Amino acid sequence: MITAEHLTRSYGATPVVSDVSFACAPGTITGFLGPNGAGKSTTLRMITGLTRPDRGSATVAGTSFARLPNPARVVGTLLDPTAMHSGRSGRATLAITARTAGVPLARVGEALELVGLAGPAAEKRVGQYSLGMRQRLGIAQALLAEPQALILDEPANGLDPEGIAWMRRLLRDFADRGGTVLLSSHLLHEVQATVDHLVVIAGGRVAAAGAMQDLLATSGVVVRAVDAGATATLERALVGTGAQVTRADDGALTVDTATGIDAPTVGRLALQHGIALGELRSSDATGLEELFFSLTTATTASEEAA
């Protein structure tokens, strides 16, 4: 189990992470999703004891990271693959980690095999590795001491599609054996097929969280007026029916179908108000994309207004 409770951090006067709380259960993969600069790395660094929160706390397996006697055996982390010593080989890098964590050296070969870096690649210096190879080595390092949890910051960075599919299988297998996975990404399509749960962060705050299926269910009908000036009228009319409406920067309104409103109802309402529609569709096909987009832009807009 990984928990974050009210994690809050500012740099100078700028709040970077504000009151972020969530929990990741064993046997699941949680995606921590947000645009660049949303506060993902800062949150993961607070969970892993690298950055001190101004407020709030985090635990892994019931204990704060700093109090874990041998953290590598409890939680494998991949936070910055470019921070590895470039003069050492992949094998030597893992051997040092193994010694530090008290893991038998035989495990190094197994881990290299597991991430597809066995053979000549293992003997190359890390400085000669591509970003994808560094990510694989970082994942080997995280898995080396056979932890029960994994915290990975943008693990798909630099991986090709085959690499992303490989990582997906590896993480699913880890979770199926009871492990807890928390991984961050700024790309929705990267995590969409991988994770069971999502925590969406925007502007340092949790914008949405829950099971993937539940989050998909909160998407609905997307409607857009031809004349941008009519958007506010349309939004008011929709809200007047009790619908929940989110407005994106480009004027598209997403109407939550959970409140019972459907596309024909939205169309009729627009007609009653004399509003010509340029777009009216169900957002099912790209539901999560709409959700991610609307949540992140909505949060940004509300912050600007504050």
Ligand X SMILES: Nc1ncnc2c1ncn2[C@@H]1O[C@H](COP(=O)(O)OP(=O)(O)OP(=O)(O)O)[C@@H](O)[C@H]1O
Contacts with ligand X, 36-55, as mask; x by CB under 6 A? xxxxxxx-------------
> Per the structure block, which two tokens stand in for 83?
């921070």
Region binding ligand X by CB under 6 A among candidate stretches 31-39, 74-82, 270-278, 293-301: 31-39
Closest-CA residue to 187 (of 197, 200, 169, 168) = 200
188 binds ligand X (CB under 6 A): no
**Which residue has tokens 């504050």?**
306
Region binding ligand X by CB under 6 A among candidate stretches 35-43, 57-65, 225-233, 257-265: 35-43
CA distance 291 to 220: 9
Judged by beta carbon, residue 41 or residue 141, the one nearer ligand X is: 41
CA distance 256 to 163: 36
Residues 1-30 that bind ligand X (CB under 6 A): 11, 16
Residue 47 contacts residue 56 (beta carbons within 8 Å):
no
Cβ burial 82-115 (10 Å sphere, 16+ → b, else e): eebeeeebbbbbbbebbeebebeeebbeebbebb
Smallest separation (angstroms) from ligand X to the CB of 50 = 10
Q: How many positions of this chain bind ligand X (CB under 6 A)?
A: 11
Judged by beta carbon, residue 154 or residue 235, the one nearer ligand X is: 154
Smallest separation (angstroms) from ligand X to the CB of 288 = 18
Smallest separation (angstroms) from ligand X to the CB of 192 = 17
**Beta-bridge mates of residue 205:** 202
The site for ligand X (CB under 6 A) is made up of 11, 16, 34, 36-42, 186
